[in-house]
Amino acid sequence: MRETTIAVVTALSPSSTTLAEYGLHLLTALGRKPGVRVVALVEDLPLDYPTIEGVEVRRAWRFNALTTPVRLARAARAAGADIVIINAHFGSFGASRASAALGLMTPVALRLSGIPVITLMHNIVETVDLAAAGFRASRPVEAVLRAIGTSLTWLVLRSTLVTTTMPRYVEILRAKYRADNVALTPHGAFDAPPAPVVRPDGAEVVMTFGKFGTYKKVETLIEAVRLLGRPGLTLVIAGTDSPNTPGYLADVEANYGGDDVHFTGYVPEDAVESTFRDATVTVFPYTATTGSSGVLHQAGAFGCPPILPRLGDLEDLIIDEGYTGAFFAPDDAADLARAIEGLLDDPAERQRIATGNHAAAIGLSLDEVADWYLMHIGSIVHDSALALLTPGESAAGVRTLHKVL
């Protein structure tokens, strides 16, 4: 049997577009698999993309462009794709409503080209706070946007298969849209590093990590850290602006910066682990969520105890995937200061959280998730779930099935 060509539409680090890091790790896992040819269809940007073993990188689309579906359909045909995986959420293809909406028509364009499509949706419109995600509007306009979002979901569901990382999303899509082509595909752990050892003493570092400015904002976090008044306590804000809010962190630094706050800018992939391991705790200063959190998986993998807001999707994720941490009321600086101080003063609790979250983070690796995709692809392209797996991978795929179910 000839190699099966899998094209993967994704943002890719070092792009600042959301899901770029997840795209890198998913491609890395797929590139290790024998018997398949993997082509990454990434943003057409003047960036030095990393070399990924087993993966051919092609520049095929642009964030905010209105021609994304057409460009990606042409690129997939040119790559000889037998199937396409799209790694996306509702804001993946643009900051404007038009470009974001048109990008989500890519599954339809690919199906019209005769190419099967698996769309991994990291969020769904029914659970997204549109204002927090950067699409602020009046209540009547928001109602219109949600109606458009529902229509776009119908289009996304024209994919051969839609997968989500949250069980609740699967339930909503099946109930509301009566979709029978929806499956759960867990987020998966990026790496499987050794178990964490929390240092009981040393410099105290509060860290937050991500793309900031929409539903991830740091002003309340800065206020909370300063409320504590702990000598030597440092806040590290690691990451960049969200594509929807360029200039946000520069404004924050100008208005709230000081010797106690360090802005790292973009964190290269080879520095991610040390960024987490050097921190005492990781804070998630979210006012809303848009799906499963890659940062929470990284915090778990690298042994950095999280401090989390009490928000719907994050609480669902914690329950579903076995994470824990300290909690605070969103946008409440005093309550966040309380949660931070509680963990800083309790190394035994930090160790308990770090050990439990590490076990949750490495419970299902992205390598196993890649096998799960290969099982779906085998069923779609070759009418056999095990067609693309070696005997050893077939056994691993069955184990992965049991873990997922």
What are 162-176's pLDDT values in tens digits? 999 888 889 999 999
Q: What is the mean pLDDT of residues 211-218?
A: 89
For residue 397, give the 3-state DSSP assignment. helix
| Residues pairing with 56 in the sheet | 39
CA angle at 99 for the pair 94 and 105, rounded to the nearest 5°: 110
d(CA 219, CA 229): 16
Query: Which domains occur in the chain, in start order?
Result: 4-188+364-404 (3.40.50.2000), 205-361 (3.40.50.2000)
* Band of pLDDT at residue 102, cut at 50, 70 and 90: very high
- 235 Cβ neighbours under 8 A, 6+ residues apart: 205, 206, 207, 208, 221, 222, 225, 260, 261, 262
Q: With contact defined as beta carbons under 8 Å apart, do 280 and 170 qualify?
A: no
**CA angle 248–210–12, rounded 5-degree value:** 105
Give the DSSP H or E segment for 112.
helix 106-112
On the CB side of 56, CA atoms within 13 Å amount to 15
Give the rounded percent of residues in the chain with a pLDDT score beyond 70: 85
Between residues 401 and 332, the one the model is more confident about: 332
Reference 41, options 124, 108, 125, 117; nearest CA is: 117
Q: Write the Ramachandran bin of 114: left for phi over 0, alpha for psi from -120 to 50, otherwise beta.
A: left
Cα separation values, 262 from 200, 203, 233, 256, 273, Å: 23, 14, 11, 11, 17
Q: What kind and span of H or E run contains 275?
A: helix 272-277
Q: Are 363 and 189 in contact (CB under 8 A)?
A: yes
d(CA 11, CA 182): 23
> Residue 58 in contact with residue 40, Cβ under 8 Å?
yes
**pLDDT at residue 402, rounded to an integer:** 47
- The pTM of the full predicted model, rounded to 2 decimals, is 0.80
Strands (E), 197-286: 205-212, 234-241, 261-265, 281-283
Strand bridging mode 36-43 / 55-61: parallel
Residue range 226-233: mean pLDDT, rounded: 94
192, pLDDT greater than 60: yes
Instruction: Check residues 319 and 239 and name the one with the higher pLDDT.
Output: 239
Maximal C-alpha separation, the chain = 66
Backbone angles phi, psi at 115, to 5 degrees: -110, 125
Contacts of 335 (CB under 8 A, 6+ apart): 328, 329
pLDDT band at 322 (very low <50, low <70, confident <90, very high): confident
| CA pair distance 120, 9, nearest whole angstrom | 10
Q: How far is CA 211 from CA 80, 261, 294, 326, 374, in A?
A: 34, 17, 12, 22, 30
